[in-house]
C-alpha cells in the first residue's frame, strides 16, 4: 500500500532540504527540541535584572544597605544587624513580590495562549477580583474573630476558592460550542464589574476597622509580607510551573483553534481545562498572598513574547519578567513618593494601563490592515 | 511510515470491504448530526473507499461541512457511528486517530507572527511528546512536506505575510507533515482565485496519484469537483441524493433537484468530465 | 421569488405591511403609555418608601398640607428633591445609552463602559487635590469636564487606525483600559493624600442621596439641552443606522450628526455623572429592553429609553433604600449587580456585530 510518511522523493518536487530553516534541532538521546538562542538570552538577561532588582529593593529603606553588602548577606556573610534587617524584614517582602509576580505572569501566559487573546488575563477578566471578593467577604463577615491562625489559613484558601469559582463561572458563561477569545474577555469584564460592585457593597457594610484592612488588601500590597507569605506561593510555583511547562507542549497545538487541534490528536477540552486550572490556581494563590496586583499577568507575558519573538507567550521568560516587574514596581512604590508608601498594585496599574491601551491600538491596526 | 500508523493499520483485521473488494477506510452508519437541538444531518450512510478522492457537493447549509466534521471526529453523532478502518472512531484514542487521519478545517487560523516552518512542524504533534518535540523523523517529514507543496523557501516567513494561495499550501503542507494517508479537506479552495484553486486541487491530485492518499473534500465549484474527484457525493437538506462517478452524478435532473438550477451539462473539452453551464434559477 | 408569483406578492405584502404598521404603532403607543404609568408609580414609591418608615397617610399630608413635622421635612426636603434628581438623571442616562449605541452601532456601548465614570472621578480627584475644591457644587464642573475628555478619548482610542469606525469589542476594551488607568491614578492620589480621600469618598458613591436641589438646578440645563439635541437628531440617526455610506448617499451630513451626537452624549452622561457620581449600566440595559417594542426607529426609541431610564434608576434607588436598612445600598451598586448579568447575557446571545 502506498501511504508512506517518508516515501521516495517525488521527481516533480523541488529539492528536499536537509534541515528546516529556522528550526535548529537540539537532540540528546530521546529528548529533542528546537534550539532557540534568543529565548535563552532573554531568560538569562531577565534573570540578571531580577537579581539586581531584588538586591536593590532589599537594600533601599530606612537603613540603606549597599548592593555588595546585600549580595554578601544573601550568600551567608554580613553583620548580625544587616542579617536581621535583610533576612527577616526585607527579603521575605521581596521574595513574596518575586513569587507573586512570577505566578501571575505564568497564569497570564497560559490564559493568553489558550484564549488566543492577550486580554484574557486573570487580572482583566475578573479572576483576581473573584479571589478578592472572597477574601473581602471573609474579612468583613468574619469580623474581629478573624485573626492569627484563622486569618493566615482561611484568607488564602478563601481567595483561592473565590478565584476558582469566578473562573468556572466565566468559562461556563463564555462557552458556546467552544471558547472564543473575545467572548471570554467580555464575559470576564462583566463578571469583574459585578465583583467590584460586591466588594464595594461589602466595604460599605463593614465596620471601619475591617473596611480599612480590606481596602489595603484589594489594592494589592506587599507591605509586611513575611516568610509565611513566601511559602505557599513558593510551593504552588514549584508544583505548577513544571506542570505548565509540560502542558505547554499541548498549548502550542491549542493555539490553532479547536478544530485543528482536535485534528492533531489533542483532547482539547481536557487539556484546556487542565491548563486553565493551573492558571487559576496560580493567580488565586498569588492574589491570596498579596491581593490583586494589577496588570502583571497581562503585561509580563506580552513583554516576554515580544522580546523572544515567538507566536505565543513563553512560560519561562514570562515568569522571570513578571517577577522582576513586580519587584521593581514595589521598589518604586516604597521609595518614590517620599514618606508615603503606595500599594504595589497602584504602581503596576499606572505603569501597565498605558501599555494595555498601546496594545489595543496596535492590535486594532493590525487586525484591520 | 511511522510505527504508530503501521500498528493502527495492522490491527484493523475487521476493516470492512466495499462492493468491488476495495477496503472501506471511513464509514458513516446511520449518523444523526446536529448542533444542540437542531438536526442537520439524519440517518446518513456513507463509505469512503481506500485510494479515492471523494468530493462532497451540495447547496449552502445542506450539511456538507457537518458531515466532514463528523468523519474527522470533530463532531460526535447523536445517533449512529463513524467507523475508521472498522473501529468506532469515538472510542479510539484521539492521538492514534491523528496518526491515520489528517484534516484541514475550513478557514483555519494561525497565531500571529508564526513562521511557515513552525506551522508545518505543528503537524508532527501526534508523533511527539513534551520532551521529544523535534526528532530527526519530525525534521525529515517537515522538510519533505515543505518541498512537496513548494514552499521550502518560505519556511522562515510569517504565515500572515503570505498570499492566499501560499497560505493554503502551508496548511496543506502541515496536514502532509502529519503523515496520514487519509485527508479530510473542508473547502480547501475558499477565497482563492481560479488559478490558485486549480493549483491546490492539482496538489490533491498528485497526493492521490503518487502517494495513494485517500482524500475527502467539500467543494463548492461543481466543475472543479467533477474534474478532480473520482467520486462525488451530492447532498441536499442533510441527505445524500446521489453518489458515484462524476458523470453519473452531474446530470441536468440532479442539478435541478439539488440546487434548483436549470443547466446544460456538456463534456469538459479538456478533461472529458461533465461541465455545468448554468441557464438560470427557476 | 419566482417570476410567476410576482404580481400577487406586492398587494398581499402591501396589505400585510399596512396592518403590521398599524399594530406596530399601537404597540409603541401602548409601550410608551405603560412606561409613563410605571414612571408615576416609581416616583410615588420613591417618595413613599425610604430608610425611615413613614405611614402613607403622613406622606400624603406632607405633600398636600405640610405642617412642619419631622416626617414632612423628610418628605419635602429629602425625598422629593431626590426623586426629581432621579428622574432627571435617569432620563439622561437612558437617552445617552440609546445615543451611544446608535452612534457606535454597538450593542455593548454604555457611558460607564466608555470610561465616562472614571474620567469624571479622576477629574474630581484632581480638582480636590490640586485646586482644593470641596463642595459638590464645585465638583460638578470637574466631573463634567472629565466625562467629556474620557468619552472622546475612548472613542478615539477605540477607533484608532480603523476605517469603519470602532468595533463593539475595541470600544469596550478601550473603555476598560482607560478606566483601569484612571482608577490607578485616582488610587495613587487618594492614598498619598488622606484629605483628598476623605472628600472624594462622598462624591464617589454613585448615589442620589445627599444631593440637594442646588445640584439638580446646576445640571438640569445640561440635561434639558442634551435631551432636545438628542430628540432633534433622531431622524438623522435613523438614516445613519443604515451605515455612513448610505446616509451620505441620501444627502445627510454625517459629520454634523456625529458632532451633535457627541455633544448630546457628553451633556447627558456628563451632567448625570456630575450630579450623582458614577452610575453604570442604565444606558446599556434600557435601549435593549425598549427596542423590543419600539423597533429600531429612533424617534420612538429615544423618548422611550429616557422614560425607562428614569423608571429603572428610581426603582433601583428605592430597592437600595429598602434592602440595607437602616443604611442604604448605593444605586450604582444595585445597578451594577442587575446590569452586569444583562451585559453577559447580551454577550452570549449576540454574535458580536454592530447593530
B111 CB neighbours in chain A (<8 A) are: 116, 255-256, 311-312
Q: Contacts by B16-22 with C-beta closer than 8 Å and gap 24+?
A: B16/B47, B16/B83, B16/B86, B18/B47, B18/B49, B22/B49, B22/B50, B22/B51, B22/B52
Q: Is A28 on the interface with B (CB under 8 A)?
A: no
Number of domains in chain B: 2
Size of interface A-B (CB pairs under 8 A): 176
Residues B137 and B222 in one domain: no
Number of domains in chain A: 1
Contact yes or no for A186 and C170 at CB 8 A: no
**Mean pLDDT of all residues in B154-159:** 89
Q: Pick the residue of B34, B137, B148 with the most A CBs within 10 A to test the interface with A by mutation.
A: B148
Residues B55 and B80 in one domain: yes
Residues B130 and B207 in one domain: no
Do B124 and B178 form a contact (C-beta atoms < 8 A)?
yes
Predicted pLDDT at C323: 81
- Whether ipTM > 0.85 holds is no
Burial class (CB in 10 A: 0-12, 13-18, 19+), C309: buried
Please tell me which residue, A144 or B21, carries the higher pLDDT value: B21
Interface of C with A in 202-261 (CB under 8 A): none
Burial class (CB in 10 A: 0-12, 13-18, 19+), C22: exposed
pLDDT in tens, chain C (355 residues): 333 333 333 334 445 556 667 788 888 889 899 999 999 999 988 888 877 777 777 777 777 777 777 777 777 777 888 888 899 999 999 999 999 888 877 777 777 767 777 888 888 888 888 887 777 677 788 888 888 888 888 878 877 645 555 665 676 677 777 887 888 888 788 777 777 776 676 666 666 776 667 777 878 888 999 999 999 999 888 888 777 778 788 877 777 887 888 788 888 988 888 888 878 788 888 888 888 888 888 999 999 999 999 999 999 999 888 887 777 788 888 888 888 888 888 778 755 444 4
- Using the 3D structure, point to which of B117, B145, B179 is the last residue of a domain: B179
Contact yes or no for A190 and C337 at CB 8 A: no
Of the listed ranges B211-215, B217-221, C319-323, the least confidently predicted one is C319-323
Q: Is B112 on the interface with A (CB under 8 A)?
A: yes
**Does some domain include residue A43?**
yes
Closest-CA residue of A relative to C164 is: A368
Residues B99 and B110: their CA atoms lie apart, in Å, by 21
Give chain A's mean pLDDT.
81
Please tell me which residue, A211 or A159, carries the higher pLDDT value: A159
Using the 8-state DSSP alphabet, how is residue C270 labeled?
A: I
Residues B95 and B143 in one domain: no
Burial class (CB in 10 A: 0-12, 13-18, 19+), B189: buried
**Does some domain include residue A25?**
no
Residue B34: φ, ψ to 5°: -175, 175
Alpha carbon A278 to its chain centroid, in Å, reads 11
Please tell me which residue, C49 or A235, carries the higher pLDDT value: A235
Whether residue A237 has pLDDT greater than 80: yes
**Residue A368 pLDDT level (bands cut at 50, 70, 90):** very low
Contact yes or no for A263 and B115 at CB 8 A: no
Residues B116 and B244 in one domain: no
Helical spans, DSSP H, in chain B = 3-11, 64-71, 94-97, 116-122, 136-148, 164-177, 194-211, 222-228, 246-249, 252-259
**Cell numbers placing B136:** 530527526
B102 CB neighbours in chain A (<8 A) are: 263
**Cell numbers placing C81:** 428633591
Residues B69 and B198 in one domain: yes
- To the nearest whole Å, the CA of B215 is away from the closest chain A CA by 12
Q: Is C353 on the interface with A (CB under 8 A)?
A: no
**Residue B69 pLDDT level (bands cut at 50, 70, 90):** very high
Contact yes or no for C178 and A353 at CB 8 A: yes
**Which structural domain range is residue B137 located in?**
101-179
Size of interface A-C (CB pairs under 8 A): 124
Highest mean pLDDT among A16-20, A235-239, B107-111: A235-239
Residues B119 and B145 in one domain: yes
Predicted pLDDT at C57: 78
Q: Is A197 on the interface with C (CB under 8 A)?
A: yes
Burial class (CB in 10 A: 0-12, 13-18, 19+), A233: buried
Of the listed ranges A60-64, A158-162, C221-225, C285-289, the least confidently predicted one is A60-64
Do A170 and A129 form a contact (C-beta atoms < 8 A)?
no
**Mean pLDDT of all residues in A47-54:** 93
Using the 8-state DSSP alphabet, how is residue B244 labeled?
A: E
**Which structural domain range is residue A201 located in?**
37-359
User: Which of C177, C183, C348 comes nearest A173 by C-beta?
Assistant: C348
Interface of A with C in 99-128 (CB under 8 A): 119, 124
B143 CB neighbours in chain A (<8 A) are: 16-20
Of the listed ranges B80-89, B197-206, C26-35, C277-286, the least confidently predicted one is C277-286
Q: Is A179 on the interface with C (CB under 8 A)?
A: no
Residues B160 and B26 in one domain: no
**Mean pLDDT of all residues in B61-86:** 91
A19 CB neighbours in chain B (<8 A) are: 139, 143
**Residue B12 pLDDT level (bands cut at 50, 70, 90):** very low
Contact yes or no for A311 and B139 at CB 8 A: no
**Residue A12 pLDDT level (bands cut at 50, 70, 90):** very low
Helix axes A315-335, A37-59, angle to 10 degrees: 20
Residues B110 and B25 in one domain: no
Question: Distances from the Cα of A133 to the Cαs of A97, A128, A153, A229, C184, in angstroms?
Answer: 21, 9, 17, 19, 19
Q: Pick the residue of A185, A345, A361, A367 with the most C CBs within 10 A to test the interface with C by mutation.
A: A361
Interface of B with A in 30-59 (CB under 8 A): 35, 50
**Residue A166 pLDDT level (bands cut at 50, 70, 90):** very high
Superfamily of domain C23-349: ABC transporter involved in vitamin B12 uptake, BtuC (1.10.3470.10)
| B212 three-class SS | coil
**Mean pLDDT of all residues in A171-196:** 81
Residues B94 and B105 in one domain: no
Predicted pLDDT at C168: 58
Residues B195 and B65 in one domain: yes
- How many Cα atoms sit within 13 Å of B197 on the Cβ side? 16
Q: Is A193 on the interface with B (CB under 8 A)?
A: no
Predicted pLDDT at A299: 87
- To the nearest whole Å, the CA of A36 is away from the closest chain C CA by 34
Closest-CA residue of A relative to C342 is: A190
User: Which of A16, A252, A265 comes nearest B126 by C-beta?
Assistant: A265
Whether residue A124 has pLDDT greater than 60: yes
Domain ranges of chain C: 23-349
**Does some domain include residue A233?**
yes
**Cell numbers placing B173:** 503542507
**At A118, which CATH number?**
1.10.3470.10
Do C62 and C72 form a contact (C-beta atoms < 8 A)?
yes
- Using the 3D structure, point to which of B163, B179, B195 is the last residue of a domain: B179
- Using the 3D structure, point to which of B179, B196, B212 is the last residue of a domain: B179
Handedness of CA C55, C60, C65, C66 (dihedral sign): positive
Interface of B with A in 213-232 (CB under 8 A): 213
A265 CB neighbours in chain B (<8 A) are: 93-99, 125-126
Give pLDDT tens digits for B36-51.
778 899 999 999 999 9
Question: Distances from the Cα of A171 to the Cαs of A181, B123, B237, C77, in angstroms?
Answer: 11, 28, 34, 48
Closest-CA residue of B relative to A250 is: B130
**Cell numbers placing C258:** 456625529
Closest-CA residue of A relative to B104 is: A260
Contact yes or no for A12 and B69 at CB 8 A: no
**Cell numbers placing C191:** 492614598
For chain B, list the contacting chains (3+ Cβ pairs, <8 Å).
Answer: A
Helix axes A91-115, A181-205, angle to 10 degrees: 140
B144 CB neighbours in chain A (<8 A) are: 6, 9, 13, 16
Give chain B's mean pLDDT.
87
Whether residue A293 has pLDDT greater than 50: yes
- To the nearest whole Å, the CA of C125 is away from the closest chain A CA by 16
Give pLDDT tens digits for B239-253.
999 999 999 999 999
Q: Using alpha carbons only, what angle is made at residue C205 by residues C204 and C211, rounded to the nearest 5 degrees?
A: 95
Whether residue A144 has pLDDT greater than 70: no
Predicted pLDDT at B88: 93
Please tell me which residue, A27 or C354, carries the higher pLDDT value: A27
Rg of chain A in Å (alpha carbons): 23
Please tell me which residue, B150 or C197, carries the higher pLDDT value: B150
Nearest CA-CA partner of A129 in A69, A200, A68: A200
C174 CB neighbours in chain A (<8 A) are: 357, 360
Give pLDDT tens digits for B98-148.
999 999 988 788 877 788 999 999 999 999 888 888 888 899 999 989 988
- To the nearest whole Å, the CA of C201 is away from the closest chain A CA by 11
Whether residue A17 has pLDDT greater than 80: no
Residues B42 and B115 in one domain: no
Amino acid at each position: 500500500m502506498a501511504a508512506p510518511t517518508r516515501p521516495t522523493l517525488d521527481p516533480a518536487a523541488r529539492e528536499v532540504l536537509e534541515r528546516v530553516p529556522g528550526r535548529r534541532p537540539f537532540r540528546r538521546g530521546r529528548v529533542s527540541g528546537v534550539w532557540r538562542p534568543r529565548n535563552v538570552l532573554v531568560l538569562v538577561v531577565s534573570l540578571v535584572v531580577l537579581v539586581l532588582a531584588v538586591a536593590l529593593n532589599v537594600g533601599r529603606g530606612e537603613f540603606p544597605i549597599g548592593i555588595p553588602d546585600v549580595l554578601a548577606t544573601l550568600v551567608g556573610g554580613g553583620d548580625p544587624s544587616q542579617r536581621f534587617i535583610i533576612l527577616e524584614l526585607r527579603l521575605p517582602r521581596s521574595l513574596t513580590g518575586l513569587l507573586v509576580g512570577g505566578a501571575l505572569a505564568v497564569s497570564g501566559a497560559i490564559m493568553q495562549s489558550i484564549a488566543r487573546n492577550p486580554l484574557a488575563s486573570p487580572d482583566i477578566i475578573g479572576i483576581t477580583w473573584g479571589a478578592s471578593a472572597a477574601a473581602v467577604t471573609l474579612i468583613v463577615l468574619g469580623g474581629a474573630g478573624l485573626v492569627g491562625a484563622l486569618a493566615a489559613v482561611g484568607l488564602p484558601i478563601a481567595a483561592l476558592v473565590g478565584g476558582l469559582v469566578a473562573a468556572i463561572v466565566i468559562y461556563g458563561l463564555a462557552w458556546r460550542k467552544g471558547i472564543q477569545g473575545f467572548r471570554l474577555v467580555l464575559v470576564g469584564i462583566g463578571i469583574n464589574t459585578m465583583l467590584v460592585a460586591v466588594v464595594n457593597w461589602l466595604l460599605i457594610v463593614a465596620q471601619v476597622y475591617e473596611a480599612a484592612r480590606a481596602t489595603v488588601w484589594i489594592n494589592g500590597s506587599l507591605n509586611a509580607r513575611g516568610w509565611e507569605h513566601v511559602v505557599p506561593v513558593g510551593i504552588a510555583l514549584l508544583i505548577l510551573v513544571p506542570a505548565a511547562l509540560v502542558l505547554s507542549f499541548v498549548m502550542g497545538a491549542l493555539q490553532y483553534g479547536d478544530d485543528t487541534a482536535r485534528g492533531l490528536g489533542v483532547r482539547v477540552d481536557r487539556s484546556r481545562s487542565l491548563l486553565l486550572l493551573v492558571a487559576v490556581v496560580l493567580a488565586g494563590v498569588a492574589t491570596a498572598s498579596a491581593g490583586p496586583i494589577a496588570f502583571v499577568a497581562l503585561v509580563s507575558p506580552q513583554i516576554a513574547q515580544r522580546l523572544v519573538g515567538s507566536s505565543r507567550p513563553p512560560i519561562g521568560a514570562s515568569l522571570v519578567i513578571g517577577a522582576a516587574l513586580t519587584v521593581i514596581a514595589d521598589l518604586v512604590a516604597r521609595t518614590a513618593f517620599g514618606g508615603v508608601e503606595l500599594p504595589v498594585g497602584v504602581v503596576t496599574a499606572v505603569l501597565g494601563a498605558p501599555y494595555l491601551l498601546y496594545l489595543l491600538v496596535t492590535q486594532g491596526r493590525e487586525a484591520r490592515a | 511510515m511511522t510505527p504508530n500508523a503501521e500498528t493502527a493499520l495492522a490491527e484493523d483485521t475487521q476493516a470492512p470491504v466495499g462492493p468491488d473488494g476495495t477496503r472501506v477506510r471511513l464509514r458513516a452508519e446511520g449518523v444523526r448530526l446536529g448542533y444542540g437541538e437542531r438536526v442537520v444531518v439524519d440517518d446518513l450512510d456513507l463509505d469512503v473507499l481506500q485510494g479515492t478522492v471523494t468530493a462532497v457537493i451540495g447547496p449552502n447549509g445542506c450539511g456538507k461541512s457537518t458531515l466532514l466534521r463528523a468523519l474527522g471526529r470533530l463532531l460526535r453523532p447523536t445517533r449512529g457511528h463513524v467507523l475508521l478502518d472498522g473501529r468506532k472512531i469515538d472510542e479510539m484514542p484521539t492521538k492514534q486517530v491523528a496518526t491515520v487521519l489528517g484534516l484541514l478545517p475550513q478557514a483555519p487560523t494561525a497565531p500571529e507572527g508564526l513562521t511557515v516552518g513552525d506551522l508545518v512542524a505543528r503537524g508532527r504533534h501526534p508523533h511527539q511528546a513534551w520532551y521529544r518535540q523535534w526528532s530527526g523523523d519530525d525534521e525529515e517529514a517537515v522538510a519533505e512536506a515543505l518541498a512537496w507543496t513548494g514552499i521550502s523557501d518560505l519556511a522562515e516567513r510569517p504565515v500572515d505575510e503570505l498570499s492566499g494561495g501560499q497560505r493554503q499550501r502551508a496548511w496543506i503542507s502541515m496536514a502532509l507533515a502529519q503523515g496520514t494517508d487519509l485527508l479530510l479537506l473542508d473547502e480547501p479552495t475558499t477565497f482563492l482565485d481560479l488559478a490558485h484553486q486549480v493549483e491546490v486541487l492539482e496538489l490533491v491530485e498528485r497526493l492521490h496519484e503518487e502517494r495513494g492518499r485517500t482524500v475527502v473534500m467539500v467543494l463548492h465549484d461543481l466543475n472543479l469537483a467533477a474534474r478532480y474527484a473520482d467520486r462525488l457525493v451530492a447532498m441536499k437538506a442533510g441527505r445524500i441524493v446521489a453518489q458515484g462517478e462524476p458523470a453519473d452524478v452531474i446530470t441536468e435532473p440532479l442539478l435541478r433537484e439539488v440546487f434548483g438550477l436549470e443547466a446544460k451539462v456538456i463534456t469538459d473539452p479538456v478533461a472529458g468530465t461533465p461541465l455545468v453551464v448554468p441557464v438560470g434559477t427557476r | 421569488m419566482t417570476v410567476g408569483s410576482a404580481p400577487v406578492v406586492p398587494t398581499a405584502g402591501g396589505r400585510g405591511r399596512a396592518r403590521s404598521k398599524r399594530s406596530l404603532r399601537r404597540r409603541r403607543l401602548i409601550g410608551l403609555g405603560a412606561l409613563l404609568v410605571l414612571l408615576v408609580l416609581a416616583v410615588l414609591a420613591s417618595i413613599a418608601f425610604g430608610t425611615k418608615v413613614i405611614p402613607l397617610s403622613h406622606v400624603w399630608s406632607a405633600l398636600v398640607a405640610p405642617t412642619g413635622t419631622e416626617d414632612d421635612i423628610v418628605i419635602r426636603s429629602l425625598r422629593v428633591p431626590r426623586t426629581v434628581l432621579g428622574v432627571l438623571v435617569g432620563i439622561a442616562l437612558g437617552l445617552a445609552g440609546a445615543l451611544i449605541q446608535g452612534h457606535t452601532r454597538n450593542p455593548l456601548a454604555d457611558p460607564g463602559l466608555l470610561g465616562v465614570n472614571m474620567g469624571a472621578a479622576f477629574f474630581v480627584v484632581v480638582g480636590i487635590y490640586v485646586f482644593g475644591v470641596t463642595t459638590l457644587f464645585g465638583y460638578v464642573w470637574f466631573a463634567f469636564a472629565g466625562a467629556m475628555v474620557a468619552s472622546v478619548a475612548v472613542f478615539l482610542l477605540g477607533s484608532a487606525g480603523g476605517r469603519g469606525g470602532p468595533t463593539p469589542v475595541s470600544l469596550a476594551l478601550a473603555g476598560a483600559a482607560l478606566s483601569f488607568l484612571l482608577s490607578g491614578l485616582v488610587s495613587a492620589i487618594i492614598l498619598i493624600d488622606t484629605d483628598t480621600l476623605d472628600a472624594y469618598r462622598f462624591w464617589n458613591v454613585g448615589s442620589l442621596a445627599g444631593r440637594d436641589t442646588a445640584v439638580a438646578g446646576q445640571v438640569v440645563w445640561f440635561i434639558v439641552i442634551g435631551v432636545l439635541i438628542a430628540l432633534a437628531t433622531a431622524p438623522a440617526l435613523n438614516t445613519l443606522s443604515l451605515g455612513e455610506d448610505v446616509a451620505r448617499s441620501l444627502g445627510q451630513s454625517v459629520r454634523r450628526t456625529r458632532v451633535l451626537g457627541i455633544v448630546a452624549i457628553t451633556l447627558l452622561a456628563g451632567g448625570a455623572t456630575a450630579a450623582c457620581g458614577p452610575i453604570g449600566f442604565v444606558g446599556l440595559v434600557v435601549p435593549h429592553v425598549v427596542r423590543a417594542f419600539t423597533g429600531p426607529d429612533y424617534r420612538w426609541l429615544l423618548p422611550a429609553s429616557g422614560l425607562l431610564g428614569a423608571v429603572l434608576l428610581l426603582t433601583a434607588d428605592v430597592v437600595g433604600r429598602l434592602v440595607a436598612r437602616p443604611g442604604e445600598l448605593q444605586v450604582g451598586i444595585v445597578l451594577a449587580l442587575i446590569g452586569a448579568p444583562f451585559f453577559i447575557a447580551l454577550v452570549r446571545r449576540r454574535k458580536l456585530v454592530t447593530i
